[in-house]
């Protein structure tokens, strides 16, 4: 009878076909999460004209989906730690795909807002659980990078919406960009067959056969039998995962994560909702204004790919603080206008420091909490962040009604970036699960070396 530690088997594994399949499905799901990020901003100028919406009403409509995401992130984050991440991900995909698709058939603001709210419930649970599942199965040396590479599709999807808007809206109407959002429904049967369940859930529910089958895919060289004993890292876990977020010196970091998520999503959704409209007000046409939204997401993609490697090398905290400061500066300068090339560069930097940095925070959180409360930790942080996301579109609409100088609209969002940087600086990495486990492994290695030296002397 062998003693099997799933965490150790996964941590020491090499990247293989199992990880590739998980990565592809996760990438696709997050792609459509990102698509939803900017699809409303893509159609907003057309909807405001067609339905005669004022900026405040239009901003409120953009927040209904985020209101649903707030509840979805918290509800499905906690639920995933109870019934398993795979089940929750499949439920979420079905909800957000169906109701985002139905937005194409809304003929007034009320119906549109109801569909957006229900779709938001599903969307809220997607990123926290995908990020947690990727972290569960990523080799130790690739955790942050693999989560970041998966979540880069969020920015790719964000760029896909305005790109399709440029290609489709004039010929097929604003509804066409919502038709595309229904396509993940076709992939659900394949996801059901190929997505793995989290190891912590399989261990907790005593599903050894499924667990060993999954571990065998991760490392085909290993063999298991029914008599093998499953052992895990000892982590103090409360019956109420939310309470665990504040135990073992995690309280300050948990609150700091919440503030950072709030400010980050305020900037992300505020800019993605109102940037095209702000550029139209500055004298650009619809298609030209949408290219700025593409630049925003393009900057996010480049930022994620570049910054994730730096996070692996120097740590997430050391990278995120200067990233948010750079975003604060870029947003402040953006409001003063200038050469088009300079504007595009500033927008791209803002994209890296908003959407890009938000993806990196997701990866940061997944490595901070233990597996047993990982979905809860990132789910509640995302839920609190959605409050900021709800405020962003409303705040943008309110600012436009004040007819302030253009630079003031951007400065307000820049301040949020500064607060996010301060919040990140308060996170205590020494209490993160990854650091505690690494320290335990280091202490064990030191003890073994001392034991070997003592044996040699004897």
What pLDDT score does 118 carry? 94
Asked if residue 25 has pLDDT above 90, the reply is yes
Instruction: Tally the C-alpha atoms within 13 A of residue 209's C-alpha that lie toward its C-beta.
Output: 0
419-437 mean pLDDT: 84
**b or e along 448-457 (b: 16 or more beta carbons within 10 Å of the residue's beta carbon)?**
eeeeeeeeee
What pLDDT score does 376 carry? 81
What pLDDT score does 455 carry? 60
Tokens of 242: 């939310």
Tell how strand 229-230 and strand 3-4 pair up: parallel
Q: What value does the mean pLDDT of the chain take?
A: 83
CA distance 359 to 408: 27
List, in order of start, the domains of the chain with CATH numbers.
3-427 (1.20.1250.20)
What pLDDT score does 319 carry? 93
Measured CA angle at 12 (ends 9, 16), to 5 deg: 90
What pLDDT score does 322 carry? 95
Cross-strand pairs, 144: none
pLDDT in tens, 280-305: 766 666 666 678 878 888 898 888 88
CA distance 421 to 411: 15
What pLDDT score does 410 carry? 83
Tokens of 312: 């692996």
CA distance 2 to 9: 13
Asked if residue 434 has pLDDT above 60, the reply is yes
End-to-end CA gap in the chain: 33
Asked if residue 180 has pLDDT above 90, the reply is yes
CA 33 to chain centre: 9
**b or e along 413-424 (b: 16 or more beta carbons within 10 Å of the residue's beta carbon)?**
bbebbbbbbebb
Asked if residue 127 has pLDDT above 60, the reply is yes
What pLDDT score does 90 carry? 94
298-324 mean pLDDT: 88
Instruction: Tally the C-alpha atoms within 13 A of residue 177's C-alpha that lie toward its C-beta.
Output: 28
Least trusted range by pLDDT, from 12-26, 76-90, 162-176, 374-388: 374-388
Tokens of 322: 């200067």
156-162 mean pLDDT: 86
CA distance 268 to 77: 21
Output the CA torsion 196→198→203→205 (10° steps).
Answer: -80
DSSP-derived secondary structure for 60-116: HHHHHHHHHHHHHHHHHHHHHHHH-HHHHHHHHHHHHHHHHHHGGG--SHHHHHHHH
CA distance 175 to 365: 36
With H, G, I as helix, E, B as strand and everything else as coil, classify residue 229.
strand
Cross-strand pairs, 229: 3
Percent of the chain at pLDDT exceeding 70: 90
CA distance 77 to 64: 20
Task: Report the phi/psi class of residue 321: left, alpha or beta, with left for phi > 0 and alpha for psi in -120 to 50.
Answer: alpha
Considering Cα of 290, then 292, then 297, then 298, what sign does the dihedral take? positive
Asked if residue 126 has pLDDT above 60, the reply is yes
- Most trustworthy range by pLDDT among 60-64, 259-263, 336-340: 259-263
CA distance 403 to 409: 9
Asked if residue 77 has pLDDT above 80, the reply is no
Measured CA angle at 50 (ends 45, 56), to 5 deg: 60
- Per-residue pLDDT band for 271 (boundaries 50, 70, 90) equals confident
Percent of the chain at pLDDT exceeding 90: 26
Asked if residue 398 has pLDDT above 70, the reply is yes
In terms of DSSP H, where are the helices of 237-285? Answer: 241-244, 251-281
CA distance 169 to 189: 31
Higher per-residue confidence, 170 vs 189: 189
């Amino acid at each position: 009878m062998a003693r099997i530690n799933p965490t150790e088997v996964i941590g020491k594994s090499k990247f293989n076909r199992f990880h590739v399949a998980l990565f592809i499905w996760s990438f696709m799901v997050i792609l459509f999460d990102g698509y939803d990020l900017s699809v409303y901003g893509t159609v907003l100028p057309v909807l405001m004209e067609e339905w005669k919406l004022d900026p405040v009403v239009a901003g409120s409509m953009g927040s209904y989906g985020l209101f649903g995401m707030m509840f979805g992130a918290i509800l499905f984050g906690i639920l995933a730690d109870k019934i398993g991440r795979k089940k929750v991900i499949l439920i979420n995909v079905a909800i957000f795909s169906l109701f985002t698709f139905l937005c194409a058939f809304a003929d007034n603001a009320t119906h549109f807002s109801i569909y957006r709210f229900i779709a938001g419930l599903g969307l809220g649970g997607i990123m926290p659980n995908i990020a947690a599942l990727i972290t569960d199965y990523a080799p130790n040396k690739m955790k942050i990078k693999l989560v970041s590479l998966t979540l880069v599709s969020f920015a790719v999807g964000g760029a896909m919406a305005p790109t399709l808007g440029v290609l489709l809206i004039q010929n097929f109407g604003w509804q066409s960009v919502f038709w595309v959002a229904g396509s993940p429904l076709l992939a659900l049967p394949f996801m059901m067959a190929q997505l793995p369940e989290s190891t912590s859930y399989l261990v907790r529910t005593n599903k050894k056969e499924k667990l060993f089958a999954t571990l065998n895919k991760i490392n085909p060289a290993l063999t298991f039998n029914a008599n093998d004993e499953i052992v895990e890292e000892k982590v103090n876990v409360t019956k109420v995962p939310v309470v665990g977020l504040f135990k073992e010196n995690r309280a300050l970091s948990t609150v700091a994560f919440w503030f950072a998520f709030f400010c980050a999503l305020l900037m992300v959704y505020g800019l993605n909702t109102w940037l095209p409209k702000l550029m139209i007000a500055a004298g650009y046409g619809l298609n030209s204004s949408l290219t700025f939204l593409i630049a925003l997401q393009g900057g996010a993609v480049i930022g994620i790919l570049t910054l994730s490697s730096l996070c692996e090398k120097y740590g997430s905290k050391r990278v995120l603080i200067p990233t948010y400061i750079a975003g604060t500066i870029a947003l402040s300068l953006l409001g003063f206008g200038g050469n088009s090339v300079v504007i595009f560069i500033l927008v791209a930097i803002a994209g890296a420091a908003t959407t890009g940095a938000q993806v990196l925070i997701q990866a940061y959180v997944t490595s901070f909490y233990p597996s047993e409360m990982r979905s809860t930790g990132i789910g509640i942080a995302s839920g609190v962040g959605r409050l900021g996301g709800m405020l962003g579109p409303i705040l943008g609409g309110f600012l436009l009604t004040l007819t302030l100088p253009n630079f003031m609209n951007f400065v307000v969002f820049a301040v949020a970036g500064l607060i996010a940087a301060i919040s990140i600086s308060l996170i205590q990495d020494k209490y993160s699960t990854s650091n505690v486990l690494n320290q335990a492994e280091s202490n064990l290695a030191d003890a073994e070396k001392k034991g070997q030296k003592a044996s040699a002397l004897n």
